[in-house]
Each structure stands twice: as structure tokens, then as C-alpha cells.
Amino acid sequence: MAFMISQRAFIKIYLITMVERHRGYGYQMLESMKDEFSSFGYVPPQSEVYRALHELVQEGVFYRTKKLKGTDPRVDFQEIVLYHFTDDGEEKARLYKKQVKADLDRCLGMLHKAEQDNYS
């Protein structure tokens, strides 16, 4: 068993939640995570966010669609990739988040114990 939760698992649970809430495309998700965690001094690496998205696609949780970023195809040429749940992706995501929750609870317990033992 790992010492603490892996960065990739941490990123994946946030990506799953963002897709559940229909929030954006890859770069938008990355920027959202940067904003959420900057106060903790954590900046998720772009490469890790895209690797996690790729893994979720490979694992059959997400599928990808492409569309133009803007509304006018004559001027808006930037294509974005949107992520959606596959037919059984929501169930796979629920099971994955349940597994990660158990790991988070274990890590929180260890961190709380370390804080109590060493800083009380």
C-alpha cells in the first residue's frame, strides 16, 4: 500500500467531478484545479492532468468529442476536446471515487495522528 494517495488518483477524482458537473474541457479543468489549490501551494502539472484524462478514456470512464471553441466557425478555429461519461462510465467513476475515498480517509487519519503526536 502506498504511503499517501497518488497525485494521479487525486487529479482523477477532480476530473470526474468536473465532468459530473459538465465543467469544461481539458485546459479549463487544469486552470480550475490551479485556482482551487494555489492557496495550498499545489499546481497540478499539465502533463499529469492530460495523462489522467487519457487514462480515464482508456479505462472506459470517459469518451471524447471535439468542437470549435467559439460559435463562429469562420473565425473560431481553435478546436477543444470535451469529455463525457461512457454508457457505464458513471458507475465506473462512482466505484473509483469510492476506492479513492477509502485511501483519502486513511491518509487523513495518518496526517491527523502525525499532527497530534508531533505538534500538540
Q: What is the pLDDT of residues 72-90, one digit of tens each?
A: 766 667 889 999 999 999 9
Q: What are the tens digits of pLDDT across the range 9-34?
A: 999 999 999 999 988 899 999 999 99
Percent of the chain residues topping a pLDDT of 90: 82
DSSP string covering 60-86, please? TSEEEEEEESSS-TTT---EEEEEEE-
pTM of this prediction? 0.89
How many Å apart are CA 1 and CA 13, to the nearest integer? 19
What's the mean pLDDT when you consider all of the chain? 93
Q: What is the mean pLDDT of residues 1-6?
A: 86
Give the pLDDT score at 69: 79
